[in-house]
Amino acid sequence: MKRKFIALFGGLLFTVMLSSCGGGGGKTADLANGETIYNKACIACHLKGVAGAAALDDTPRWEELAAKGMTTLVQHANSGYTGNYGVMPEKGTCMDCSEQDLYDAISFMFSKAGVEPKQ
């Protein structure tokens, strides 16, 4: 069980390392941290798309988000954002999250959705 998890996770990390090579620099995502943050704070809305949040299996929504670029997405997650779908609460309710934590959690969600974000 644990082994399986590590193998799966290693695969994910590898994918991100590969994709970040083509990204032209910028920050690197710590997906392990991202998963922890996601499970703590973001899963409530972003797993199934509660209250208008982008569900992890909603690929077109993540493609739409990818086009905005990570810089904008992290800013919106950090200070809260009201768009066409609903209200994203400030820091996604994770009040002790840093911008890097949010960056990691967003990167984790992109990896789950199978979409590659822009910087």
Binding-site ranges for ligand HEC (CB under 6 A): 37, 41-42, 44-46, 51-54, 65, 68, 72-73, 76-77, 81, 83-89, 92-94, 97, 102, 105-106
CB of 43 to ligand HEC, least distance (A): 8
Of 65, 64, 74, the closest CA to residue 102 belongs to 74
Nearer to ligand HEC, 3 or 101 (CB): 101
Cα 70 to Cα 20: distance, rounded to the nearest angstrom: 12
CB of 108 to ligand HEC, least distance (A): 8
Q: Are 19 and 113 in contact (CB under 8 A)?
A: no
